[in-house]
Amino acid sequence: MERLHETFIRLCEIRSPTGEEREVADTIVAELRALGLDVSEDDAAGPAQAGAGNIVARLRGRCDRWVMFCAHIDTVPHKGQIEVVESEGVFRSAGETILGADNKAAVAVFMELVARHTSEPPPVGIELVLTVAEEQGLRGAKAFDVSTLRSDCGFVLDHASAVGEVIVSSPTQQRVLAEFTGVEAHAGIRPEDGNNAIAAAAAAISRMELGRLDEETTANVGVISGGTSGNVVPGRCEIVAESRSLQAGRAAEVAGSLSDACAWGASEHGCDVDVRIEELFRGYRIPPSSPALGLAEAGLRRAGFEPERTATGGGSDANALIVDGFDCVLLANGTEANHTPDEAVGARNLDAMLDVCEGIVAEAATGAG
């Protein structure tokens, strides 16, 4: 597994926040081509507002069946250069940056998977889809044309939980952007001439029902910003809120209530408000009859794991692919504390996910036979 670990460290130390994927994309493309894979890059860079397009790489197998594995190559924003250290079998960042295991742990696993089969073809064809701009609304996957895939099902390795978990449901996320416009005035001399946009936003937030609304639904206000100076009645304020629910209609309903609260708050303080609601991703529930689900669980068992079906409150490329009609399932990859300086992944988990991918390939061949 030493080569897998070295690949993981090397990829993590290449900077690739969303919009800056070019260097890591070029590195991955060159290495996959050197292994003899057929590699292409689509034209998603423009619509996804990314530094590169999605990468598709294919390694032919001994039969006509293909299976697809998907991960993203971008990371959340971070300051400074990532330096990876390993202690007691766990990889972490040496400084205050993220590690980048989200999602380069999966990318490294996939690269090792195909590297092991270049001297002798795998039992089925292996198709890799490495997306861009996932961390900013799944934009790369949304711009990907699933009709170009040769596989009839696929596997996204991008969930920060214990290896063995199979994600069978994910929520719809609605983002609410509200911009309050009031009237500026001197806070000490003529405050009565002003209309306080921050006060309007605060009133709106006080009227919102936030947190866990029911077993399937959450709402949150994550950002509030505005004003220019402590001695000026603020004329502008913005908030960013969201709703999530396993029921798409419920997510839209809650987003509507957040918007209504904004309208009320603006009215109470003599301000205007412009509210925009955007669906970032659509949720799903994987049916028990899904071939991808059956193959994932068979591959996990072959690798020595008992599958555990679970739900997630987040989104992944699986959301975009499933909405486009492609049968795929999201799998846990054993990473921890993603998006933070405490992000980590154990070497054993990297090794385990490689075993799981090998198990899926082997089980796919059994089904093809």
In Å, what is the CA distance from 225 to each residue of 219, 235, 238, 302? Answer: 19, 12, 5, 51
74 is catalytic: yes
The pLDDT value recorded for residue 367 is: 74
Identify whether residues 85 and 165 lie together within a single domain. yes
Say which DSSP state 341 is in: T
pLDDT tens digit sequence for 181-194: 999 999 999 999 99
Q: Which of 41, 42, 127, 134 is catalytic?
A: 134
Domain with residue 257: its CATH number is 3.30.70.360
Pick the catalytic residue: 21, 31, 74, 297?
74
Q: What is the mean pLDDT of residues 157-179?
A: 97
Give the H or E element holding residue 200: helix 197-207
Whether 64 is catalytic is no
pLDDT tens for 53-73 read: 999 999 999 999 999 999 999
How many domains, in total, are found in the chain?
A: 2
> Same domain for 263 and 132?
no
pLDDT of 52 strictly over 60: yes
Domain check: are 153 and 182 in the same one? no
The answer to whether residues 47 and 116 belong to one domain is: yes
Identify which of 166, 140, 156, 161 has the alpha carbon closest to the alpha carbon of residue 75.
140
Q: Which residues, in sequence order, are CB contacts of 87 under 8 Å at separation 6+?
A: none
The CATH number for 70's domain is 3.40.630.10
> Is the same domain home to 84 and 176?
no
Given a contact cutoff of 8 angstroms between Cβ atoms, the answer to whether 336 and 90 are in contact is no
Domain that holds residue 266: 172-281
The candidate with the shortest Cα–Cα distance to 132, out of 28, 40, 17, is 17
